[in-house]
Amino acid sequence: MNATTFQELPLDERLSAWLDDELAPDQRAEVDTWLRDHAEDAARVRLWAADRDALRARLEPAAGESVPTRLEQVVWSHAPDTATAGWMRWAAAAAIFVLGGALGAGATWRLLEETRVPVAGARWEQRAIAAHAVYVPEVRHPVEVSVHGATPQESRAQEEHLVRWLTRRIDRPVKLFDLRSHGYELVGGRLLPDTQGAWAQLMYQKSGETSPQRVTVYLRKPDSATPAAFRYERHGELGMFYWVEGSTGYALVGAMPRDELMALAESIYRQIPN
Amino acid sequence: MSSRTPVVIAPTAFRQQLLGTIPRLRRYARSLVFESAAADDLVQTALERALAHWHQFDQRRDILVWVLSIAHNAYMDDRRRHAHTTSVEPLDLQDGPDALAAHAPDPGLRMDLMAALAKLSVEQREPLLLVTLEQLSYAECAEVLRIPIGTVMSRVSRGRAALRALLDGHAPAPSGTRGLRRVV
């Protein structure tokens, strides 16, 4: 988008592109200023954001469902069990998921079984990473229920509301962990949809920085396959600790070194009521 | 590879990649045709076409964008084919086998959202879904729908306003017209 024509675009298009984070920094700053001065437009954009969140909440579970065998079979139909030299060269060159050359159909099926879980993205810990990536960059709507109140009393009431709401919806006790000794303040929480039932996301941020460092904590009913032991995984810049305690699965996700994340995870672990 | 296009079947590596797109492909299909069996039929068509044209996929590109584009074409073909038959309204499916209904915290409200979504013109609905639900950039959305980025921008914006107007209980201005009712 070039800057001279930007102002000529209809206002709604500029606001909409702002919401989708499609603007160059100067255009973005321009819209920021506009929204500060025009409360009605800001309210309209908030409604659009709420509609977007509602659409996601309504339709997201469809991606978490297990894939019907019928569709997997479509992908494996006429599988290369009669391998030609041509495709084998292609496979070797592609070097993306090169899974070995001349697999027979039987071997292909076994392979499918093994790779099924990561392919479908079914593990809840993995989805915690995805949810972190979606909501942490949100400037205006990082959480559904904020614990920020005008007065300490109001904040406390919001916290109580958040605990009651999440506890009821995920059907297990939710505790708002106190991470202030590490410099992290609770921002609030949101409910995430899933085929296995809802789960809770709590967001914390380190204040006093221009772009605040945020971490997210997840609570939900664990998959039967989730090991109870403390586990650590790294996905690009994001690190994640996850474990099961009692009837609840916990995960902590943040873009920070392992040691720092570990300190937060331990703090949370110590605060889990027995 | 030779220019004489022999029928070379898709390699295992490609099939693995394709398999990885199914969950999001299903979600997108569901947001287009609502009813889950019909949505999976659309997914199946898209997968079959992707397999038949696997050699056209450029490995430097995002396979999801490529497959969504195939699904979009399949959906448009389907609409053209059934242009004269009546389509199922999502409202009629309220008691039907809608797998998603199981997660309804407030069935009335959610049905309103889906009914409103269904009322949008397909020209507005697709860009809106690709950008909000699938979280594609405007450039990727333009690639899927084969329309210019500026068109994506205006359709997303108008789709948003139309959806909001429907949820507020107002009929949106007919699609294709410029200024939607200004909410003051």
Q: What integer best gives the mean pLDDT of chain A?
A: 78
Residue A72 pLDDT > 50, yes or no?
yes
Which residues lie across from A243 on neighbouring strands? A250
Residues 142-201 of A with CB under 8 A from B: 169, 193, 195, 198
DSSP E strand stretches across A96-140? none
Clarify whether residues A111 and A137 are in a common domain: no
B119, B113, B125: which is closest to B159 by C-alpha?
B125
Clarify whether residues A72 and A108 are in a common domain: yes
Clarify whether residues A115 and A127 are in a common domain: no
Clarify whether residues B123 and B184 are in a common domain: yes
Clarify whether residues A172 and A197 are in a common domain: yes
Least confident of A35-39, A78-82, A270-274: A78-82
| H/E element, B146 | none
Clarify whether residues A5 and A78 are in a common domain: no
Which residues lie across from A205 on neighbouring strands? A185, A214
Domain region containing A40: 1-59
Task: Report yes or no on B90 lying in a domain.
Answer: no
Task: Report yes or no on B95 lying in a domain.
Answer: no
Clarify whether residues A146 and A134 are in a common domain: yes
- Which of B14, B26, B131 lies at the smallest CB-CB distance from A62? B26
Which pLDDT tens digits describe chain B residue by residue (184 residues)?
Answer: 444 444 567 777 888 888 889 999 999 999 999 888 899 999 999 999 999 888 888 888 889 999 999 999 999 998 888 775 545 444 444 434 343 444 444 444 444 888 899 999 999 999 999 999 998 999 999 999 999 999 999 999 999 999 999 988 776 555 444 444 444 3
Cβ contacts (< 8 Å) between B106 and chain A: which residues?
Answer: none
Residue B2: predicted pLDDT: 41
**Higher-pLDDT residue of A22, A244:** A22
Task: Report yes or no on B146 lying in a domain.
Answer: yes
pLDDT tens digits for range A45-58: 999 999 999 999 98
Clarify whether residues A54 and A77 are in a common domain: no
Q: How confident is the model at residue A106 (pLDDT cuts 50, 70, 90)?
A: very low
Clarify whether residues B114 and B64 are in a common domain: no
Residue A133 pLDDT > 90, yes or no?
no
Q: Which three-class secondary structure state does DSSP give residue A232?
A: strand
Task: Report yes or no on B98 lying in a domain.
Answer: no
Phi, psi (deg, nearest 5) at residue A138: -60, 125
Clarify whether residues A77 and A192 are in a common domain: no
Clarify whether residues B15 and B49 are in a common domain: yes
Residue B59: predicted pLDDT: 82
Residues 96-155 of B with CB under 8 A from A: 99-100, 103, 105, 110, 113-114, 117, 129, 131-133, 135, 137-138, 153-154
Residue B173: predicted pLDDT: 55
Residue A112 pLDDT > 80, yes or no?
no
Clarify whether residues B21 and B71 are in a common domain: yes
Cβ contacts (< 8 Å) between A72 and chain B: which residues?
Answer: 19, 22
Clarify whether residues A84 and A206 are in a common domain: no
Task: Report yes or no on B64 lying in a domain.
Answer: yes
Cβ contacts (< 8 Å) between A12 and chain B: which residues?
Answer: 157-158, 160-161, 180
Q: Inter-chain contact A99–B131, Cβ cutoff 8 Å?
A: no
Task: Report yes or no on B138 lying in a domain.
Answer: yes
CA distance A15 to B60: 32
Task: Report yes or no on B40 lying in a domain.
Answer: yes
Q: What angle do CA B168, B171, B176 make, to 5 degrees?
A: 125
| H/E element, A90 | helix A85-94
Q: Inter-chain contact B156–A88, Cβ cutoff 8 Å?
A: no
Q: Where among A120, A135, A165 does a domain terminate?
A: A120
CATH number at residue B18: 1.10.1740
Mutation target vs B (from A1, A2, A12, A114; most B CBs, 10 A cutoff): A12
Q: What is the mean pLDDT of residues A204-219?
A: 83
Which residues lie across from A245 on neighbouring strands? A248
The number of folded domains in chain B is 2
Residues 29-88 of A with CB under 8 A from B: 40, 44, 47-48, 51-52, 54-56, 58-65, 67-68, 70-72, 74-80, 84, 86-88
Clarify whether residues A238 and A130 are in a common domain: yes
**Higher-pLDDT residue of A121, A224:** A224
CATH number at residue A136: 3.30.200.100
Clarify whether residues B146 and B183 are in a common domain: yes
CATH number at residue B150: 1.10.10.10
pTM, whole model, 2 decimals? 0.52
Clarify whether residues A179 and A127 are in a common domain: yes
Domain region containing B148: 105-184
Task: Report yes or no on B59 lying in a domain.
Answer: yes
Clarify whether residues B139 and B170 are in a common domain: yes
CA distance A179 to A213: 13
Q: Inter-chain contact A87–B9, Cβ cutoff 8 Å?
A: yes
Residue A178 pLDDT > 90, yes or no?
yes
| Residue that the structure tokens 């979009």 belong to | B72
Q: Where among A16, A42, A59 does a domain terminate?
A: A59
B59 CB within 8 Å of a chain A CB: yes
Residue A274: predicted pLDDT: 66
Q: Where among A12, A39, A59 does a domain terminate?
A: A59
CA distance B181 to B184: 9
Task: Find how far residue B142's CA is from the centre of its chain.
Answer: 13
Residue B74: predicted pLDDT: 94
Clarify whether residues A113 and A192 are in a common domain: no
The number of folded domains in chain A is 3
